[in-house]
Amino acid sequence: MIFCLSLNLFWGTTFFLKLFDSSKKVYYTSIQAKTLEGGKNFMGYKKLAMGEKKKIALVAHDNKKIDLLEWAKFNKDLLAQHELYATGTTGRLLERELDVEISKLQSGPLGGDQQIGAKIAQGEIDFIIFFWDPLEPQPHDTDVKALLRIAVVWNIPVACNRASADFMISSPLMSEEYQRFVPDYKNYRERMKR
């Protein structure tokens, strides 16, 4: 039996159709973009394949590093099947604790969050596990906001706490190829050329 969920997005005629069957396997149909005057599309979408081996960014603010370490130790076997990236101190702690190779970037306040954002824009990160501290002001709050924003821009899944990370890591999609819809920004990039 196939179930269907349809979503009408804010600009009117764009539909995102999500189909799934009783085994909870997800299937997607096409997305149509709004047509502007002159018959030009505002924005379309394209598919980007995430392989079976995902590229995961692991980030934690200082007050959340112990939470991330405990979560990562519990999920060590699952994480070891993927390509891992982390910001500075978090990466060193995880690498030592898990005994797995982690590509370490700069510390968050020194540009690590921005490095992850750049990797997202280049298609080099599939999703983020970011245990951020909502109660403590950060010296790089603008970088954190920019990272979360760019994840939304490129349709990257983000887990911001243990519960959401548990749901993501235990998803059957973690061990299979997944076709992620990403916006096609071609018309946006060329808007001033017309």
| Active-site annotation, residues | 113
CB 60 within 8 A of CB 32: no
22 by Cβ neighbours in 10 Å (0-12 / 13-18 / 19+) ranks as: exposed
What's the burial of 100, exposed, middle or buried (CB within 10 Å: 0-12/13-18/19+)? Answer: middle
Residue type, 89: T
Measure the CA–CA gap between 121 and 146, rounded to whole angstroms: 12
CB neighbour class for 130 (10 Å; exposed up to 12, middle 13-18, buried from 19): buried
CA distance 58 to 80: 13
Compute φ and ψ for 118, nearest 5 degrees.
Answer: -65, -40
